[in-house]
Amino acid sequence: MSLQGFYTTKGLALAAKAAAGAGLTVTKVTAGSGTTAASAAVLADEKQTLTVGPAQTDGQTATLPVTLAEVRAGVSYALTELGVYARDPEAGEILYQVFRLDESRAIRAGGESVYRFYLRQSVGADGVTVA
Please write the tens of the pLDDT for every residue from 40-94: 999 999 999 999 998 888 877 888 999 999 999 999 999 999 999 999 989 999 9
Instruction: State the DSSP H helix or E strand holding residue 10, giving kind and residue range, or none if neither.
Output: helix 9-17
Give me the torsion for CA of 112, 101, 64, 66, rounded to 10°.
-20
Q: What angle do CA 116, 32, 10 make, to 5 degrees?
A: 100
Q: What is the pTM of this model?
A: 0.89
Confidence category of residue 131, pLDDT binned at 50, 70, 90: very low
- Does the structure show a pLDDT above 60 at 3? yes
Residue that wins the pLDDT comparison between 1 and 50: 50
